[in-house]
Amino acid sequence: MAGKTDSPNEVDQFVLAHIDSVPHLESLLLLWNHRDVSWSAGDVAARLYVDPAKANKILQDLQREDLVVTLPESQELFRYNTRSVERDQLIESVAATYSRELVRLTTLIHAKASPAVREFARAFRFTKDKE
């Protein structure tokens, strides 16, 4: 079921803002599709056929984006971060779009600047101080 945020524009904006690679997207969708399961980096690595160290970095990146969280009882287990109905609907739309438009979304991800370039740019982003 697609939510209110089913527009490709919102999905594309989310992917551009929060997803660094196809394995990042697939990791997020894995945790989203199995919200009742706690995942270790090794579990994710086995499901996505990536190195456990790479899976751990991906999960840490997704945690920095506030998309996944570690469990209070174990900082090595991750789950999708259910923050709001709106964001859940957006991730549902991302999952639906990825299943329908795999090539378009993967091309969008690959066309982005590298994560290192984006991180460097973030260092110079000015934010308004809250008073």
Contact 109, 21 (CB under 8 A): yes
Q: What is the mean pLDDT of residues 99-120?
A: 79
The CATH code of the domain that includes 104 is 1.10.10.10
Does 131 have pLDDT greater than 50? Answer: no
Does 125 have pLDDT greater than 90? Answer: no
φ, ψ (nearest 5 deg) of residue 80: -60, 140
φ, ψ (nearest 5 deg) of residue 6: -80, 5
Nearest to 109 by CA among 25, 10, 9, 2: 25
Nearest to 15 by CA among 62, 59, 48: 62
Q: Is residue 90 part of a domain?
A: yes
Q: How many folded domains does the chain comprise?
A: 1
Q: 34: domain range?
A: 23-119
Q: pTM (2 decimals)?
A: 0.79
Burial of 123 (0-12, 13-18, 19+ CB in 10 A): exposed
Q: Is residue 78 part of a domain?
A: yes
Q: Is residue 106 part of a domain?
A: yes
